[in-house]
Amino acid sequence: MGRRRRVNPKQAAHEAFDPLWRDEKLVDRRTAYKLLQIVLDVPVWQSHMRHAPSRVVKQVPAASRRLRKLLRGCNGL
């Protein structure tokens, strides 16, 4: 059996969140972090993975999926 790759929660958060502003260009970076702050209902400094507590970081992938869905709807995609 193969080994399961253990994913760092902050890495998983970035992998889910960064494409919103980097690859898909649904919004600019600053707006993406502001929206993440609103969706997670945290202070702005906690919306950045570097400073966020682990409980917030673990919520980022699901929040990113919600944001992606909302933004695609707003952009008519």
Gap between the Cα atoms of 44 and 40, Å rounded: 10
pLDDT band, residue 44 (cuts 50/70/90): confident
Neighbours of 60 (CB within 10 A): 24
CA R_g for the chain: 13
pTM assigned to the model? 0.82
Domain ranges of the chain: 9-71
Gap between the Cα atoms of 43 and 53, Å rounded: 11
Average pLDDT over residues 65-69: 94
Neighbours of 59 (CB within 10 A): 17
Mean pLDDT value across the chain: 89
Gap between the Cα atoms of 61 and 65, Å rounded: 6
